[in-house]
Each structure stands twice: as structure tokens, then as C-alpha cells.
Amino acid sequence: MKRIGVLTSGGDSPGMNAAIRAVVRKAIYHNLEVFGIYYGFQGLIDGNIEKMELGSVGDIIHRGGTKLYTARCEEFKTPEGQQKGIEQLKKFGIEALVVIGGDGSFMGAKKLAEQGFPTIGVPGTIDNDIPGTDFTIGFDTALNTAIDAVDKIRDTATSHERTYIVEVMGRDAGDLALWTGLAAGAETIMIPEAGEDIDEIINRLKRGHKRGKKHSIILVAEGVSSGSEVAQQIEDRTELETRVTVLGHIQRGGSPTGRDRVLASRLGAKAVELLLAGEAGLMVGIENNKLVYHAIEDALEKKASLDQEMYQLSKELSI
């Protein structure tokens, strides 16, 4: 093998740049040529591909976003789209590919591997929702961004005696809401994996208010409900004044934390190592601080499970 490609796909996450850098540098270290594919699978179909040198990834380890840009591409979900992508790879003489992205991107990587093109997936998403790895690249940065925001909201919540509802990202996965809630001391955490009854939440708020509690912070993952819907229900059924903050895309940006940079560097380099060893159709991950790999299809078949012990702890500490 002489030439490999690398792309980022789906939602961007802080640390993707560090992963690209690791793939490029590790490959060049092992005398491989590396090609960057711009705009994910869309760029693959379009042949938006460029050779990368050591300097191509200089000065990006500390930057959020992705130097290779990203995209969502419906066409790549079709066998014809995948074939177009493979033809482009062949045209550039690229023999193997590293795909950095979330579970959707892993589906694309799996399809390429099934069609005989050696592909390795690197988990990059702030959602932390990929089975087969304890952490995904970007989760730690997003967590720290969300904690910082909630800490600031807490100051104003205390001053005004209001109930604040903070909506964080997480369509199907509650990790970001749960970890942020636990770390920032939220009173209530609403996550997709554990349907907490709104009646119970309202009763708890009323009890807290009665015993003189000045403010409450409710963290809601976007997959459960919108912050404004939760606020409306509380205002309709209590005397409490509410305010809603939707953290939105600030959770995706920012300089990656040290943890994310190290994780991205380790996972990106591991992906190249696996390709050099002739492996394909795998995803890399980290479990108990050890680098691991699994068949992508096995990982995709499973559902990332919520840490029940942590969820229970968040409830016990917020009585």
C-alpha cells in the first residue's frame, strides 16, 4: 500500500483537526502518501481530493472544526453514489481510506468496506454515541463548553430566582446532558434514554420552591423535547418564572481540550497502523484507556448504552 485518503463527514467536532493531523503525519512517517478528501462523501463523489504534505496539517492541532470541511451527502447512501466514490479513489490511486465522523459516517465507511475498499472509521462526534468506544473525539470539549455555560447561567439564576432550562445537543444520546448535569449540579436532567415524567419534575420543582429553593437548573437533551416546550409546561402549571437557553452550535466549536487532542492523535494514528497491517472494515476506539478496534458492523448493530450508575448518581446528588 502506497496511498491512503482521509475525510471528515457528518457533524464536525472539536479534535477532528488533530485526528487529520495524526493520520497525515503517521502515514508520512511510514512513507505513505496521503490525500485529503474535502467535504466528506460529497467531495469523494466529486473528486475534491488533494495531496497532503507534512505542512498541510501544521497549525491545526488546536483549532476546532475540520480543515477538510464536512458535509452530509444523500447520494452516498445509494450503491451508485458509493461506486462513484470508489471510482474517484481509484483514479487518484488511493488504496485505503480513513473516515472520521459519527455513526452515519460509519455506515458510509461500512458500505465502502463491503464493496471491497479498505476503510477504517475514527469516531468523531460530540454526541459520544458510538458503541465500541468509551469516548468519541469532541465529546470532552463540548462537555466543557456546556459546563462553562451552565456555570454562568447559575450565577444569573441565583440572582433572579428563576428556573432555567438549558437545552443541549443530543438527538438520541443523553451523554452530553448527563455529564454536563452531573458536573454543573443541575437539579433535573432530561435524556432520551430515561423518560422522566414531566409531572414528577414539576412536583419536585414545587417542593423545592416551597422549602425556599431560589433557583433550579434543568438540562434537557434536544432529543427529549425543546427547552421552550419544557418551560411552557412549567409556567402553565406553577408560579415559577422560567428562562430558556439553547446552547446550540457553540457546543460544536472551540479549541479542543487536551483530552480530545490526545484521543484524536491516538485514534488517528491507530487507524493508519491498522491499514498498514492490512486490516479493513474496522473502527478504532478507546476502552479503559486502551486503544481497541472492532468490526464497524458490530459497532453499528449495538446501541450506545447509558451509564445507569451515573444517571442514578445524578438523581441522588440533586435531591
Helix (H, G, I), strand (E, B) or coil at 156: helix
The site for ligand ATP (CB under 6 A) is made up of 9-11, 41, 72-73, 76-77, 101-105, 107-108, 111, 125, 127
Judged by CB, which is closer to ligand ATP: 104, or 256?
Answer: 104
Residue 116 makes CB contacts below 8 A (sequence gap 6+) with none
Q: Judging by DSSP bridges, how do beta strands 216-221 and 163-168 pair with one another? A: parallel
Catalytic choice (46, 59, 103, 127): 127
Q: What's the closest the beta carbon of residue 42 comes to ligand ATP, in angstroms?
A: 7
Helix 16-29 to helix 258-276 angle, to the nearest 10 degrees? 40
Judged by CB, which is closer to ligand ATP: 105, or 314?
Answer: 105
Q: What's the closest the beta carbon of residue 34 comes to ligand ATP, in angstroms?
A: 21
Q: What's the closest the beta carbon of residue 297 comes to ligand ATP, in angstroms?
A: 12
Judged by CB, which is closer to ligand ATP: 5, or 104?
Answer: 104
What region does 35 belong to: left with phi over 0, alpha with psi -120 to 50, or beta?
beta
Give the chain's end-to-end CA distance (angstroms, integer): 58
Q: Within its chain, how far is the Cα of 297 from the centroid? A: 19
CA angle, corner 130, sides to 290 and 112, nearest 5? 100
Torsion sign, CA atoms 177, 180, 183, 186: negative
Q: What's the closest the beta carbon of residue 282 comes to ligand ATP, in angstroms?
A: 17
127 is catalytic: yes
Judged by CB, which is closer to ligand ATP: 32, or 286?
Answer: 286
Torsion sign, CA atoms 129, 191, 175, 193: negative
Known catalytic residues?
A: 127
